Amino acid sequence: MQQSCRNAWCKQPFEVTDDDLRFLEKISPIFVGKKEPLPPPLLCPDCRQQRRLAMRNERTLYPRMCDHCKKHIISIYPADSSFTVLCPACWWGDSWDPLSFGRAYDFSRPCFDQFRDLWYAVPKISILALNDNINSDYAHDGYRLKNCYLIFDGEQAQDSYYGEVYALIRDCSDFYYIKQCELCYECIHCQGCFNLRHSRFCNNCSDSMFLLDCSSCRNCIGCTNLHQKDHHIFNKPFSKEEYEQQRTAMNLHTFSGIRALREQAEAFFLTHPRKAMRNVMSEEATGDNLTSCKNVHDSFDCMDMRDGRYCTNCIMGGTDAQDIDAWGDHMTLVYNCAYVGAGVDHLIACYYQSFGASNLCYSIYCLQGTRDSFGCVGLKKMQHCILNKQYFKEEYEQLMPRIIGQMREEGIWGEFFPPTVSAFAYNETVAQDYFPLTKKEVLQRGWKWRDRQEEMSAVSKVIDGKLLPESIESVPDDVLQWAIRCEVTGKLFRIQPSELTLYRKLNIPLPRRHFDVRHAARMQLRNPRHLWARPCMKCGKEMQTTYAPERPEIVYCEECYLKEVY
């Protein structure tokens, strides 16, 4: 079935397959013995994902006070917002009752308008955190953290800074999507690595720098497509003594030495083939960066997924999932949701549900076994609720078909919340990373934009990033009292004490660019979440790949790549 995106600014054609229709039939809810079928989506996959990501502020943090205990806290909601915001301890505590915000469904009003009123009224948790984090106040959506700063969307980290999407890491900084790593710096999509720097798409590598698509390598510099190698530089083998001499001559403890090696490495990488899709131990899978996945299509950055389509960042796995953005972990039968996991099942158009939530539609932050509810916010261990109002099972079953009928008439049944429901400005959300828009474009679409003013506490001096010392050895302790002016944007930023300790431990120079600029640079090193058809540059066979046809990389199909590399 061919569809055209309903968004006036898009109108891109897209396909709804027979498998898509079977999945929609499978997940459609049943009330009073009658199935309420989900219709084919009205928006293209990109616009659907954009809506989901526009609900989430990942990295923009603000100082404010908890509206209950009055403690100074860090929050994803600014102090001038109209919301009631509670620190994690107060939000998880018994000081408020989500059912006190309940209201009867009004069939004379649009559904999303009623939900937005409830969503804006119910207290917000300042940052997504459990009470087991230690000295990690400046970290959002993470648990079991210790001594972490500005890391987002992950679990189980210690002494780590400036990164996004992670699990089981220690002493890492400036990263994106790493798992089971230690002492890693400026790494992207790496797993099981130790003392690895400026590398991407590597597994089980150690004591190396500037690697691309390598596995089980150690003591290597500027290499690509190597496996189980030791003491290589630009893919050439050296004796241990020669390797150390070459490494020393590169001055890799200095900013200029690292910059020169980066330029060499990127030029060298362009002379070697890339695999069309970086899928590892995956079967019947299309997309990119899929590990141990089966029957997963048009998906990106997922692990241990089964039977899914249009999924991203499901790093903890799941089954029977379509149009899902993060995270997984015993997740099953979920559709058009964002940030759901930890035992959830049968969710439709939900945002941040976890800990055994099930049979929920259009709900946010409903946790700890909440089930059989619609349009609810902040419930714990509840069931048969609509707009946070409690009903008997029979009443709930009778109301739901009427509500779904109204949603069908409005053309929104099965569609995710529009950005007008989001509690954040568009440019505060993850959507701006993947679907960047100008302020004018955002406002033209009727969405929100926030002009943010940088605040900087008192410092002893301000220094331009380009004037920082070449090596960490020349950096005095009082750098902690300085503000550094980003050499790209001019934004001011500071170095944290534990961060400085890690730089000295790794013997790497101080960063000269603001964290936001470093994050943007990492995102640019990743391919778009889009598949193009193009011929293999070795055999000419048609293939799908995330490398656009006009890009300069040498791209091979999997068969040719494996013959070349192995």
Per the CB < 8 A criterion, the answer to whether 62 and 83 are in contact is: no
**In a 10 Å sphere around its CB, with 0-12 CB exposed, 13-18 middle and 19+ buried, how is residue 301 labelled?**
buried
Same domain, 188 and 263: yes
> 10 Å Cβ neighbour count for 17?
12
Return the structure tokens found at 487.
Answer: 């050499």
With H, G, I as helix, E, B as strand and everything else as coil, classify residue 140. Answer: strand
What confidence tens digit (pLDDT) does each residue in 292-313 have? 999 999 999 999 999 999 999 9
Residue-wise pLDDT for 238-254, tens only, equals 999 999 999 999 999 99
The first and second tokens of residue 41, run together, are: 């989506």
Q: Where does a domain end: 275, 301, 326?
A: 275
How far, in Å, CA of 352 to CA of 152, rounded? 14
The model's confidence at residue 16, banded by pLDDT at 50, 70 and 90, is very high
pLDDT at position 108, please?
98
Q: What is the pLDDT of residues 310-335, one digit of tens each?
A: 999 998 899 999 999 988 989 999 99
Please check whether residue 442 lies inside any domain of the structure. no
- Please check whether residue 267 lies inside any domain of the structure: yes
Q: Look-up: residue for tokens 């943010």?
A: 452
User: Is the model's pLDDT at 566 over the cut of 90?
Assistant: no
**Phi/psi at 162 (5° precision):** 55, 75
Rounded alpha-carbon distances, angstroms, from residue 301 to 18, 38, 189, 280, 425: 25, 27, 8, 11, 26
Question: For residues 147 and 160, what is the distance between their CA atoms, to the nearest angstrom?
Answer: 7
> Looking at the domain assignment, is residue 237 inside a domain?
yes
- Structural domain including 547 reads 532-565
CB 225, CB 237: distance < 8 Å: no
Q: Do 179 and 226 have their domain in common?
A: yes
Q: Write out pLDDT tens, residues 26-65.
A: 999 999 999 999 999 999 999 999 999 999 999 999 999 9
> E strands within 19-131?
30-31, 34-35, 62-65, 72-75, 85-86, 124-125
Domain boundary among 245, 275, 305: 275
470 with 546, same domain: the answer is no
> Which domain-ending residue is among 17, 34, 53?
53
Residue 523 CB contacts under 8 Å (≥ 6 apart), including other chains? 176, 433
Assigned domain for 367 exists: no
**499 in a structural domain:** yes
Model confidence at 132, pLDDT cuts 50, 70, 90, reads confident
**Percent of the chain whose predicted confidence (pLDDT) is above 90:** 94
Confidence of residue 453 (pLDDT cuts 50, 70, 90): confident
3-state DSSP assignment of residue 212: strand
The reply to whether 466 and 560 lie within a common domain is no
CA distance 434 to 426: 12
Averaged pLDDT score across all residues of the chain: 95
| Span 189-203, average pLDDT | 97
Q: Is residue 327 part of a domain?
A: no
The set of residues, in sequence order, having a beta carbon less than 8 Å from that of 296 and lying 6+ positions away, is: 282, 284, 285, 286, 287, 290, 302, 305, 306, 307, 308, 309, 311
Over residues 164-184, the pLDDT tens digits come to: 999 999 999 999 999 999 999
pLDDT value of position 456? 66
| 434 Cβ neighbours under 8 A, 6+ residues apart | 49, 50, 53, 529
Tokens read off for 313: 């960042």
Residue 457's pLDDT band (cuts 50, 70, 90): low
- For residue range 370-408, what is the model confidence (pLDDT) as tens digits? 999 999 999 999 999 999 999 999 999 999 999 999 999
Q: Are residues 183 and 224 in the same domain?
A: yes
Q: Which two tokens stand for residue 230?
A: 């030791």
Whether residues 270 and 191 share a domain: the answer is yes
The total number of residues shown for the chain amounts to: 566
Question: How high is the pLDDT of residue 404?
Answer: 98
Same domain, 176 and 269: yes
Tell me the pLDDT band of 143, cut-offs 50, 70 and 90.
confident
| pLDDT at 471 > cutoff 70 | yes
Give percent of the chain with pLDDT exceeding 70.
99
Radius of gyration of the chain (CA): 25
Query: Is a pLDDT exceeding 90 seen at residue 6?
Result: yes
Report the pLDDT averaged over residues 91-97. Answer: 93
Cα dihedral 339→180→194→479 (10° resolution): 50
Is the domain of 505 the same as that of 553?
no
Question: Could you give the dihedral angle defined by the CA atoms of residues 402, 406, 412 and 418, in that order, rounded to the nearest 10 degrees?
Answer: -100
Same domain? For 215 and 246 the reply is yes
Q: Is the Cβ–Cβ distance between 184 and 190 less than 8 Å?
A: yes
Residues 474 and 549 in one domain: no
Q: How far apart are CA 47 and CA 30, in angstroms?
A: 28
Domain count, the chain: 4
Is residue 126 within 8 A of residue 92, CB to CB? The reply is: no
Quick check: is 373 in a domain?
Answer: no
Q: Please tell me the distance from the alpha carbon of residue 566 to that of residue 317, in angstroms, as a whole number.
A: 29
Asked if 228 and 216 count as a contact pair (C-beta separation under 8 A), the reply is yes
Q: Is the peptide bond before 327 cis (omega within 30 degrees of 0)?
A: yes
SS3 285: strand
Is the same domain home to 557 and 487?
Answer: no
Residues 153-165 have a mean pLDDT of 94
In the predicted model, what is the mean pLDDT of residues 330-341? 96
Nearest of 298, 293, 299, 295 to residue 313 by alpha carbon:
299
For residue 534, the tally of other CB atoms under 10 A from its CB is 17
Residues 208 and 266 in one domain: yes
Which token pair is 27? 């997940």
Which residues in 99-112 are b (16+ Cβ under 10 Å) and which e? eebbeebeeeeebb
Task: Confirm whether 16 is domain-assigned.
Answer: yes
